[in-house]
């Protein structure tokens, strides 16, 4: 029986304590006066994130499951996970680097999606540091793992600062490779599982987006959002134009598109998007150093899974704002580069900041 969003049953830590591939999984809780976030080192996933709504009621704004077992059974949605080595799609699972062709799994036929069969979201990360406000996780992806060149050392650090969760990535490689990392949290700012997100207000700091072909691979064009359903330069409801007869919305089954924030990585965290829950007044600000952000309106959620508190992940009950480099960059020389060379350090960061409207 579905519980009211008001009765948040605490997560049971022992439901997250198991061993996979000889590595221990666990649940870590970071908290301060404003935010409480639970993270598991299985896929470095955010499991829940509690903030107060405008009436002072604790609300869990990130979709997730109550146990590792449920993540294992329902892993295709990348709930709360760190996705990599390459977040988003690579056309036909193929790219070339320095004259060598690489072949990856086409796990989202006909394309490669979110790093392949296991990627970084279905592996156990090593815990480097765990405090009340900080969790640092490490994963070593072997040379050739999922078909990508180079052994990649990846660290993701989650840090709570006031009402913000900072997510910072660092990676180094021993061979030239491609890297694109993101956090794939599904938000519902009215409370996870509480209803469609179409009434949320959204603003995105982008005057262009990357239209795709029918398989969600960018055509290469950076098209203006002006005069299209992709114009979120002023705050507007996610649902306002989602049913418009527009080829791009047909291809994505709704919004599933990369917005162009900048022409390259930026040194400083810059405001990329603001979303507000219409029923709670909870406002999420996304700041990032990344040049792109994927708005995914939960089009493939189908109510197949029981999420926390006995609720369901129904169609468009959550949205993602995935900060990233553009999809298919390894095959698109005009896009900002995703190549990482040995001796260089990949560094990006993103902040989810929670305020009240
Ligand atoms: C993609 C969607 C995909 C989803 C996975 C998003 O990042 O853009 O097309 O279905 O991840 O659940």
Residue range 52-72, pLDDT digits in tens: 999 999 999 999 999 999 999
Q: How far is CA 259 from the centre of its chain?
A: 14
Cα→Cα distances 130→8, 40, 62, 244, Å = 24, 12, 21, 46
Choosing from 145, 305, 322, 325, the catalytic residue is 322
* The predicted structure's pLDDT at residue 265: 92
Q: What is the CATH class of 13-356?
A: mainly beta
- CA-nearest residue for atom 11, ligand 1, is 77
H-state helical runs in 57-115: 68-73
- Give the closest residue (by CA) to ligand 1 atom 6: 296
Active site residue 112: no
Tokens representing 73?
A: 């059974």
Ligand 1 nearest atom to the CA of residue 76, by list position: 12
Residue 322 bears catalytic tag: yes
Question: For 318-332, how does the pLDDT look when each residue is reduced to its tens digit (9 = 90+)?
Answer: 999 999 999 999 999
Contact 10, 22 (CB under 8 A): no
CB-count exposure of residue 29 (10 Å: 0-12, 13-18, 19+):
middle
Pocket test for ligand 1, best of 80, 114, 253 (most atoms within 8 A of CB): 114
**Alpha carbon of 191 to those of 296, 313, 351: distances in Å?**
18, 12, 20
Q: DSSP code of 196? A: -
Whose alpha carbon is nearest atom 5 of ligand 1?
A: 77
Residues of the chain with pLDDT under 70: 1-6, 75
How far away, in angstroms, is 186 Cα from ligand 1 center? 11
pLDDT of residue 76: 77
């Amino acid at each position: 029986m579905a519980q009211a969003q008001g009765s948040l049953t605490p997560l049971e830590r022992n439901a997250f304590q198991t061993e996979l591939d000889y590595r221990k999984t666990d649940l870590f809780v970071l908290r301060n006066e404003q935010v409480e976030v639970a993270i598991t080192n299985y896929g470095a996933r955010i499991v829940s994130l509690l903030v107060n709504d405008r009436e002072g009621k604790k609300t869990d704004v990130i979709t997730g499951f109550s146990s590792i077992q449920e993540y294992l059974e329902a892993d295709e949605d990348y709930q709360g996970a760190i996705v990599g080595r390459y977040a988003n799609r690579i056309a036909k699972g193929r790219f070339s680097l320095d004259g060598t062709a690489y072949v990856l799994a086409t796990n989202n036929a006909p394309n490669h999606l979110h790093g392949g069969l296991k990627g970084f979201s279905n592996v156990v990360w090593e815990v480097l540091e765990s405090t009340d406000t900080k969790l640092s996780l490490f994963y070593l992806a072997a040379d050739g793992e999922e078909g990508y060149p180079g052994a990649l050392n990846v660290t993701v650090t989650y840090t709570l600062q006031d009402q913000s969760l900072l997510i910072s990535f660092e990676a180094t490689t021993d061979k030239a490779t491609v890297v694109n990392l993101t956090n794939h949290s599904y938000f519902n700012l009215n409370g996870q599982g509480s209803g469609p997100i179409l009434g949320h207000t959204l603003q995105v700091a982008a005057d262009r987006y990357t239209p795709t072909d029918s398989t969600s691979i960018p055509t290469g064009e950076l098209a203006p959002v002006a005069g299209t359903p992709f114009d979120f330069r002023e705050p507007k409801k996610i649902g306002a134009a989602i049913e418009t007869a527009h080829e791009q919305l047909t291809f994505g089954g709704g919004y599933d598109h990369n917005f162009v924030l900048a022409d390259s990585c930026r040194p400083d965290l810059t405001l990329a998007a603001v979303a507000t829950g219409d029923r709670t007044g909870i406002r999420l600000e996304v700041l990032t150093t990344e040049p792109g952000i994927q708005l995914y309106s939960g089009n493939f959620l189908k109510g197949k899974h029981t999420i926390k508190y006995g609720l369901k992940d129904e169609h468009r009950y959550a949205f993602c704002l995935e900060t990233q480099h553009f999809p298919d960059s390894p095959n698109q020389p005009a896009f900002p580069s995703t190549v990482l060379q040995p001796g260089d350090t990949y560094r990006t960061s993103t902040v989810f900041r929670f305020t009240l409207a």
